Homo-oligomer: A and B are copies of this chain.
């Protein structure tokens, strides 16, 4: 066990190395690392007494709370798997999660949609659970054991719980510590949902460097202002309109937000906050990622001035752009973004066939399309929802859609495959215009950017593209515009 390090081991070290440092703030509750460690020991004892052992699942049904971090750490101590459920889901969606995960313990709170599902075995008071537990000697847990399960939004079919081990989570935290240049005085405001990797990854990196995690149930602009001011928050989970809302809530400068170190956004925002000059924010924030790689796979901050707009891979992963047969595509060609490395997930819970498919050829297949640019940096093209097979060539709709959308007259576009006698399938573009453009002009525009066989042979104009979530509704499009003959269908 000399090389193993679990999330719980990190907490045990912090309890010794920084016993008096504030680990958690949640409403009136403030916990030092020493206190958090003691509570997690008791919580692990309480869960163990309820039958939670190695491989068992614990489900949290509630908004953001210190309970999420405590339950995760307790599960790490037990070798169990913790899942914070999406509290925005309907009762039916929650029923699916409860049945899919078959948790040994469900802890729930402030969660109306869950009420119809609750049984006597469900625990509705996290604090009481912590109180009732007695710490006990537990066998050591290997850091390769899955500890966190996050349901990922499926574009089609049922959602799947991506399982992440302590080893993967700690490796991912290291990559964030490097790129965001986080230091021990980092204070993170958990205002984004902890059932998504975007907030969770900063929560865990803050834990790992021994900083302070501040929890708030969900996003509230005024409350964000109050907490940033009171706790001297370094970073919060804020984007676009959320930033505007926070700036508006502080229009009268009631709160001091200068502890926030952030990317430039608006003149007003920049005046309230302090610029973050770490690679994470220095030019453009972010990169490419997904839950299955622990969060971020590539970082813009590792590729200043890059050609590819997703940047370069984290120092702990390898990326390959692969063709459907598992071979690496040439530089500049589009293929599926595949990955290996220390931050990768351990498969989906109870999905052996999907796991085998996603890890074929020894690489995790992200389901997203990308390209290596000439400088080696990576461009994310779009989700590989389906593939068109035209004259033995693979055509990915997302790539052609991207080319079409780059035309100034195109408001939106979707690409389908239609049966073709000679080519088996032919590419058809469904286009919503915002200006004037002929079919010939659009086809030439695509030809100028992509291989000739990828150009649309048919173009239909529509008022708007039907959507399913953020993506085009391909089933509706196929039905309305004659799609068919897809490979494997």
A residues sitting closer than 8 Å to B (CB atoms) are 1-5, 9-10, 12-13, 16-20, 140, 144, 167-168, 170-171, 173-175, 177-178, 181-184, 208-210, 279, 302-304, 312-313, 315-320, 340-342, 344, 359, 362-364, 372, 375-378
Known: A3-B344, A183-B279. Contact between A313 and B376, CB under 8 A?
A: no
Residue of B nearest to A341 (CB): B5
A316 — which chain B residues lie within 8 A by C-beta? 5, 170, 174
Residue of B nearest to A363 (CB): B2
Docked complex Cα distance between A340 and B376 (Å): 37
| Inter-chain contact B377/A2, CB cutoff 8 Å | no
Docked complex Cα distance between A184 and B301 (Å): 9
Question: Which of the residues B16, B340, B363 comes within 8 Å of A319, measured between beta carbons?
Answer: B16
Copies of this chain, tallied across the complex: 2
A304 — which chain B residues lie within 8 A by C-beta? 184
**Min CB distance, A124 to chain B, in Å?**
35
Question: Which of the residues B17, B167, B279 comes within 8 Å of A377, measured between beta carbons?
Answer: B17
| Inter-chain contact A4/B178, CB cutoff 8 Å | no
Docked complex Cα distance between A167 and B316 (Å): 10
Nearest 7 pairs of A and B residues by beta carbon: A174-B174, A17-B376, A177-B178, A13-B318, A17-B312, A5-B341, A208-B315
A313 — which chain B residues lie within 8 A by C-beta? 13, 17
Docked complex Cα distance between A258 and B18 (Å): 37
Docked complex Cα distance between A315 and B344 (Å): 19
| Inter-chain contact A4/B340, CB cutoff 8 Å | yes
| Inter-chain contact A184/B319, CB cutoff 8 Å | no
A302 — which chain B residues lie within 8 A by C-beta? 184, 209-210
Docked complex Cα distance between A489 and B243 (Å): 69
| Inter-chain contact B12/A340, CB cutoff 8 Å | no
A170 — which chain B residues lie within 8 A by C-beta? 315-316, 342
Could you give 21 example pairs across A and B, Cβ below 8 Å?
Answer: A2-B340, A2-B362, A3-B144, A3-B342, A3-B344, A5-B342, A16-B376, A17-B303, A17-B313, A17-B319, A17-B377, A17-B378, A18-B376, A170-B316, A171-B174, A174-B177, A181-B181, A184-B312, A208-B315, A210-B302, A210-B315
Question: Which of the residues B9, B315, B317, B372 comes within 8 Å of A177, measured between beta carbons?
Answer: B315
Residue of B nearest to A205 (CB): B315
A319 — which chain B residues lie within 8 A by C-beta? 13, 16-17
